[in-house]
Amino acid sequence: MRDSARKPLAAHLDDYVADLAARGRNGRGGRGARLVASRIKTLLQACDWQVPCNVTADSFIVWRNRQTCSPRTLNHYLQGMISLLNWMERVGRIKTNPLKNVSRADERGKQKRVRRAFTDEELRKLVAGSEDRGIIYFTAARTGLRQEELKQMKWGDLNLGADVPFVVVRDYAAKNKKQESVQLVPEIVEALTAHRPAGCAGTDLVFPKGIPRARRLTLDAEANGIPYRDELGRYGDFHALRYTWATFLQRNGVAQRFAMKLMRHSDIRLTAQVYTDEMQLPIYDAIKNLPRLDAVPGYTQIRAQILGGHGQTVTHPDAKSGESNPTESLVNRGICHVLSQPVTSCQMERVKGIEPASRNSRSAALSRWATTPVGAITCNVRPIEIGQEAGICTRTVAFTTRNAAVTPQS
């Protein structure tokens, strides 16, 4: 460990990159390891880290505070350096990683590069107006294959004549290093069949001229009237074609689990939340025909029976007393719980499901109320709201008496 402490960090970095390549962890074509090494070299120079003992959390934080790049980029620099120091700790070159407790920058709401999906009309223009590059854009937008996967795709990987046509994504080309098959929609099968040259071998590349770079796609998009950056600041680059595929699946009702499989994602949230362009989802079409409240059968009739002109439940004046208070009732005042509606001359009215009382019982009721001793409570019994249940209006007689002690009814 003493020798490792005097060894320059640049030499440790070379050993780390070589170990990644030997273990097959250097990314597709070694690109991932080269990118990480480039970031680490930038940090070594900017922070003046010559040997392992120079690396401190404070020096990194001071460097990070001076930067103007996005939080996501800053986190990539931190993660790259941490990966080197973790490797050095595992192989016994340092005792501990000095950056292991450094917090990541908050990326929420601060992304500088947000992608979007191409609309169907934009994709038609791009495919039709990009010469021989159009078939590449179309394949990317209808398979979700990445740039490197398209670059290494061979005719032997395509099974266009099968009952269920598919393409095999080889492990050496896939991002996750797993070989998987992706089923193909009929229109891309027809397009690739037409694109296939006569007499080609299974080992021949499908796109021998290579895959267009970001700059080439930008020029093709602008030439066809497609903004590279939309009004929301979102980018339409090559990887946006993969977003286009995920959004196309969601818009056309493909189950999310199927979409996740076609996208070859390990987490369904990545498919639904990151790669789906919500701006293109037909959300309004899904809600505009939801049932209206006033379209419920019988609603208008019920409403007319129980609501007044201002949409509030009201009562009518008693025929005998001549008094009216549409906002007050015995229930509201806590005196009586009888539900009633006034009728003239105390006549009972036949209602659905209720037989009218006999004249004798009516006379007995009037007699009982009339002979009630006078007490301290003066009560004007007024009609109260109509009971409403299951669309049937129930009404009973209302009695009016003055200067009578009234026992609350339940």
User: How many domains are contained in the chain?
Assistant: 3
Burial class, 291, CB count within 10 angstroms (exposed 0-12 / middle 13-18 / buried 19+): exposed
> Is pLDDT larger for residue 25 or for residue 101?
101
For residue 139, pLDDT beyond 90: yes
Contact indicator for 206, 158 with CB cutoff of 8 Å: yes
- Domain enclosing residue 84, as ranges: 2-90
Same domain, 272 and 131: yes
325 part of a folded domain: yes
For residue 393, pLDDT beyond 90: no
342 part of a folded domain: yes
For residue 89, pLDDT beyond 70: yes
> Of the given ranges (118-122, 172-176, 221-225), which has the lowest mean pLDDT?
172-176
199 part of a folded domain: yes
**Alpha-carbon distance values, 134 to 141, 151, 222, 323 (Å):** 11, 15, 14, 84
Same domain, 186 and 276: yes
Same domain, 261 and 174: yes
381 part of a folded domain: yes
173 part of a folded domain: yes
Q: What pTM, to 2 d.p., does this model score?
A: 0.59
Domain boundary among 90, 105, 138: 90
What element of type H or E holds 181? strand 180-183
* CATH code, 135: 1.10.443.10
109 part of a folded domain: no
What was the pLDDT predicted at 309? 52
114 part of a folded domain: no
What was the pLDDT predicted at 384? 43
322 part of a folded domain: yes
For 19-58, how does the pLDDT look when each residue is reduced to its tens digit (9 = 90+)?
Answer: 999 998 888 778 889 999 999 999 999 999 999 999 999 9
